[in-house]
Amino acid sequence: MTNTNTSNGVQGITEADIANYLANTPGFFERHAELLSAVQLSSPHGARAVSLQERQMQMLRERIKGLEARIMDMVRHSQENVAIADRLQRYTSAILLTADAQALPARMVETLRHEFQIPQAAIRLWGLGAGHEGADYTQPASDDIQSFAASLSLPYCGVNAGFEAAEWVDEAAAMTSMAMIPLRHADTCFGMLVLASPDPTRYAADMGTEFLSRLGEVTAAALSRLRPGGADHTA
């Protein structure tokens, strides 16, 4: 159909005009019901012509398939979220069952790697004071990395671009993607949790960070026991 119709001498009637007329004149097909069976449309699945009713059924089937796919995606995401919640609960339980505060960082790393299948993980803390010298979690962290951690409002996810924190994990050269999660207590950043993987897509820059933020909050709350004034601080 062209934009103008000259077969009956009427010019300037467009397809939009016809569509608007039919949309605003619901009684048209009641008065001309024979057109519903007479109209032939091209099938999207071949060159044959189909009736209007058949084309409508095809459109409905395609819409139903699309809705079914969306529902399956929702179910899959729901199942994944439940699995993540279960792992986080087991991680939290492991923390609560660790009576020795100084054993917490190692227990956290071990549990994270086991529950979430994380290839490499590390925790580094600073500003703890006396009583923690020589521990793996208090190995040197430069002023630059401490400033970087304090500047993060959200966890960093992306490529391992030679960050100092990448050197905290084993096999650092093989780790191509990483997440760096600041650990805060009372508005003070006192450490960082690092997760690393040889899979470049494991921690992508466009991934959501809500779960990682919650993980950081739980971890920081537990490790706050090691800070000066904490319940298990060794003076």
Lowest mean pLDDT among 51-65, 126-140, 192-206: 51-65
| Average pLDDT over all residues of the chain | 85
Q: Pick 179 or 57 by higher pLDDT.
A: 179
**Which pLDDT value is given to residue 3?**
46
**Which pLDDT value is given to residue 1?**
42
Q: Is the pLDDT of residue 218 over 50?
A: yes
pLDDT range class, residue 19, cuts 50, 70, 90: confident
Q: Which domains does the chain carry? A: 98-226 (3.30.450.40)
pLDDT range class, residue 22, cuts 50, 70, 90: confident
pLDDT range class, residue 66, cuts 50, 70, 90: confident
**Which pLDDT value is given to residue 75?**
80
Residue type, 156: Y
**Which pLDDT value is given to residue 10?**
52
Output the CA torsion 225→227→232→234 (10° steps). Answer: 160
Q: Which of 118, 113, 120, 122 is nearest to 94 (CA)?
A: 113
Cβ-count burial of 147 within 10 angstroms (0-12 exposed, 13-18 middle, 19+ buried)? exposed
Q: Which of 144, 206, 218 is nearest to 181 (CA)?
A: 218
Phi, psi of 70 (to 5 degrees): -65, -40
Q: Pick 123 or 16 by higher pLDDT.
A: 123
Q: What is the DSSP string of 108-124?
A: HHHHHHHHS--SEEEEE
Distance CA 11, CA 121 (A): 74
Q: Is the pLDDT of residue 5 over 90?
A: no
Please answer whether residues 130 and 234 qualify as being in contact, where contact means their C-beta atoms are separated by less than 8 angstroms: yes
Report, as an integer, the average pLDDT of 51-65. Answer: 74
Instruction: Give the torsion sign (CA, 214, 216, 219, 222).
Output: negative
What is the pTM (predicted TM-score) of this model? 0.68
**Which pLDDT value is given to residue 235?**
41
Report, as an integer, the average pLDDT of 127-150. Answer: 92
Q: Pick 63 or 38 by higher pLDDT.
A: 63
